[in-house]
Amino acid sequence: MSAAEAGDEAAALGDLDLEGLRSAWRLRFGEPPPLRSVELLALLLAWRIQAGQQGGLDAGTRAVLKRSGPVKAEGLDIGVGAVLRREWKGRVVEVLVEEDGFRWEGQSYASLSAAATAIAGTRWNGPRFFGLRPAARAS
């Protein structure tokens, strides 16, 4: 497959729904990852197609990524034992920063976003929910 063909094939993924993307993944690579995001799965599949044609990441880039270590949940750098407070729907909620994650109402969460989502009942960016990151500016 030429670079142009790989690019065309990757571009065509934008027309597929989630099941179409999963089917395309199965045809090329086997069982697809358990993603539910159409956009993320399309990007990942496009990268795999193009990397297969062009060789993927070079050795230097792979080495840099290995040295960076595992990704840690944002907010852990505040310090174990810190308590994040916020008023939500008329009540104060508190999340405790622990060694391996965050605790709210006796339940442990791997990320601050998971805790914020549980609190709000809808998907939230945890650092933004607790005011650790500025809100996005309107353009």
% of the chain exceeding 70 in pLDDT: 94
Kindly give, in sequence order, each residue whose CB lies less than 8 Å from that of residue 68, ignoring residues fewer than 6 positions away: none
**Contact (CB, 8 A) for 26 and 19:** no
Q: pLDDT tens digits, residue range 34-51?
A: 888 899 999 999 999 888
Q: Indicate the pTM of the whole model.
A: 0.52
User: To which residue do tokens 């089917």 refer?
Assistant: 23
| 17 Ramachandran zone, left/alpha/beta (phi>0; psi -120 to 50) | beta
Instruction: Round to whole Å and give the CA distance between 10 and 1.
Output: 12
The answer to whether residue 136 scores a pLDDT higher than 70 is no
pLDDT in tens, 65-103: 888 777 777 777 788 999 999 999 999 999 999 988 999
Rounded Cα distance, 119 and 7, in Å = 42
The reported pLDDT for the residue numbered 137 is 54
Whole-number mean pLDDT of the chain?
87
